Amino acid sequence: MKFRLEWQRGRHARGIDQLDPELPMFFEAESKEEAIVLALEKIRKALALGEWCQGVLLFESGKKESVAEFDSGNTYKDFYQNLVSRP
Protein backbone atom coordinates (compact mmCIF):
# COMPACT_ATOMS: atom_id res chain seq x y z
CA MET A 1 0.00 0.00 0.00
CA LYS A 2 1.18 3.49 -0.73
CA PHE A 3 1.05 6.27 1.84
CA ARG A 4 1.93 9.91 1.75
CA LEU A 5 2.86 12.32 4.50
CA GLU A 6 1.36 15.67 3.55
CA TRP A 7 3.15 18.34 5.54
CA GLN A 8 1.68 21.73 6.33
CA ARG A 9 4.98 23.46 6.69
CA GLY A 10 5.93 25.86 9.42
CA ARG A 11 7.78 29.14 9.03
CA HIS A 12 10.48 27.46 6.97
CA ALA A 13 9.06 26.74 3.53
CA ARG A 14 11.12 23.64 2.95
CA GLY A 15 9.95 20.10 2.39
CA ILE A 16 10.77 17.51 4.99
CA ASP A 17 12.48 15.45 2.28
CA GLN A 18 14.80 18.41 1.61
CA LEU A 19 15.87 18.36 5.25
CA ASP A 20 16.80 14.71 5.06
CA PRO A 21 16.57 12.43 2.02
CA GLU A 22 15.60 9.58 4.35
CA LEU A 23 12.32 11.39 5.08
CA PRO A 24 10.45 11.10 1.78
CA MET A 25 6.84 12.21 1.68
CA PHE A 26 5.82 9.10 -0.27
CA PHE A 27 6.49 5.63 1.09
CA GLU A 28 5.11 2.10 1.05
CA ALA A 29 3.91 0.00 3.97
CA GLU A 30 2.13 -3.31 4.40
CA SER A 31 -0.66 -1.87 6.57
CA LYS A 32 -1.98 1.33 8.10
CA GLU A 33 -0.42 0.30 11.40
CA GLU A 34 3.02 -0.05 9.80
CA ALA A 35 2.51 3.28 8.01
CA ILE A 36 1.77 4.97 11.34
CA VAL A 37 4.95 3.52 12.86
CA LEU A 38 7.00 4.69 9.86
CA ALA A 39 5.34 8.11 9.98
CA LEU A 40 6.16 8.44 13.67
CA GLU A 41 9.81 7.65 12.92
CA LYS A 42 9.89 10.31 10.20
CA ILE A 43 8.15 12.85 12.42
CA ARG A 44 10.47 12.12 15.35
CA LYS A 45 13.46 12.60 13.04
CA ALA A 46 12.01 15.86 11.71
CA LEU A 47 11.55 17.12 15.26
CA ALA A 48 15.15 16.16 16.07
CA LEU A 49 16.20 18.34 13.13
CA GLY A 50 14.27 21.20 14.73
CA GLU A 51 11.52 21.27 12.15
CA TRP A 52 8.01 22.23 13.21
CA CYS A 53 5.51 20.09 11.37
CA GLN A 54 1.80 19.64 11.15
CA GLY A 55 -0.17 17.72 8.61
CA VAL A 56 -1.81 14.46 7.73
CA LEU A 57 -0.84 10.91 6.80
CA LEU A 58 -2.79 9.87 3.72
CA PHE A 59 -3.54 6.43 2.32
CA GLU A 60 -3.20 6.58 -1.46
CA SER A 61 -5.89 4.27 -2.82
CA GLY A 62 -7.18 6.16 -5.81
CA LYS A 63 -8.86 8.57 -3.42
CA LYS A 64 -7.14 10.26 -0.53
CA GLU A 65 -8.12 8.73 2.78
CA SER A 66 -6.81 10.34 5.93
CA VAL A 67 -5.15 7.82 8.23
CA ALA A 68 -3.91 10.15 10.95
CA GLU A 69 -3.27 13.79 11.73
CA PHE A 70 -0.26 15.13 13.57
CA ASP A 71 0.92 18.38 15.06
CA SER A 72 4.36 18.73 16.59
CA GLY A 73 3.06 21.49 18.85
CA ASN A 74 1.44 18.76 20.94
CA THR A 75 3.37 16.75 23.48
CA TYR A 76 4.83 13.59 22.01
CA LYS A 77 2.35 11.49 24.02
CA ASP A 78 -0.63 13.43 22.62
CA PHE A 79 0.98 13.30 19.21
CA TYR A 80 1.24 9.49 19.37
CA GLN A 81 -2.25 9.03 20.83
CA ASN A 82 -3.74 11.16 18.06
CA LEU A 83 -2.06 9.00 15.43
CA VAL A 84 -2.88 5.58 16.86
CA SER A 85 -6.41 6.35 18.03
CA ARG A 86 -7.73 7.05 14.53
CA PRO A 87 -9.77 4.19 12.97
pLDDT score for 13: 38
Q: How far apart are CA 10 and CA 5, in angstroms?
A: 15
Closest CA to 4 of 34, 24, 22: 24
Q: Which domain holds residue 7?
A: 2-84
What string of pLDDT tens digits covers the 87 residues of the chain? 676 666 554 444 345 445 555 656 667 778 878 877 877 787 777 677 666 666 666 666 655 555 555 555 555 555 556 555 555
pLDDT score for 6: 61
Q: How many structural domains compose the chain?
A: 1
Question: What pTM, to 2 d.p., does this model score?
Answer: 0.55
